[in-house]
Amino acid sequence: MRKRKVRRNDTEWILTVTILAFVISIIMGFFGELILGNVGLAISMLVTFIFIMLGIVFDVIGVAVTAADIHIFNSMASKKVKGASVAVKLINNASRVSSVCCDVVGDVCGVASGSAGVAIAAILIKTTSINPLLISSIVTAVISMLTIGGKALGKGYAIRQSTDIVHTTGKLISKFMK
């Protein structure tokens, strides 16, 4: 009987996270297209950089939540430290928080930055005489380098500073709660 409940909860979670990924993708895609439709190179690069940074920040939060020590936050929550009780909830749901932060938001940001990279490549192809294949390859490589390098750097930071990151995240989320 317990196995059936666990599988049902897992199925519900998978469905929820899949739908969440779809909705976030639509929103980011819509705003990306809206912004990148008729803008110049600088704005396209800025939007791409924002997508990359958003993916890195959420990846850092996801890793920090899985690395954080719940005992510290239980102690803080008992002393009514702002954001500590939210941090406890985040840590108690670390696999789901990590899934949403790293997989859903992180992966959607990766796709969005790739799409924004297409806009950058298109602008560069129109405005330069450089080989279009070379431009596309370099834009893709730079986006990949920034994303992968940023996430690699962020993961180490997230593990070392997990308490501060989770506490800050808890305080931020608690501002939006009753």
**pTM for the whole thing?**
0.84
The answer to whether the CB of 72 falls within 8 A of the CB of 61 is: no
Q: Please state, in angstroms and rounded to a whole number, the distance separating the CA atoms of residues 60 and 164.
A: 12
What are 129's two structure tokens? Answer: 């005489």
Give percent above pLDDT 70 in the chain.
Answer: 94
Q: Please state, in angstroms and rounded to a whole number, the distance separating the CA atoms of residues 91 and 75.
A: 14
> Which residue's structure tokens are 């993708």?
25
The answer to whether the CB of 137 falls within 8 A of the CB of 48 is: no
- pLDDT at 81 exceeding the cut of 90: yes
**Residue 132 has what pLDDT?**
92
The answer to whether the CB of 120 falls within 8 A of the CB of 146 is: no
Confidence of residue 39 (pLDDT cuts 50, 70, 90): confident
pLDDT single digits (tens) 140-164 = 999 999 999 999 999 999 999 999 9
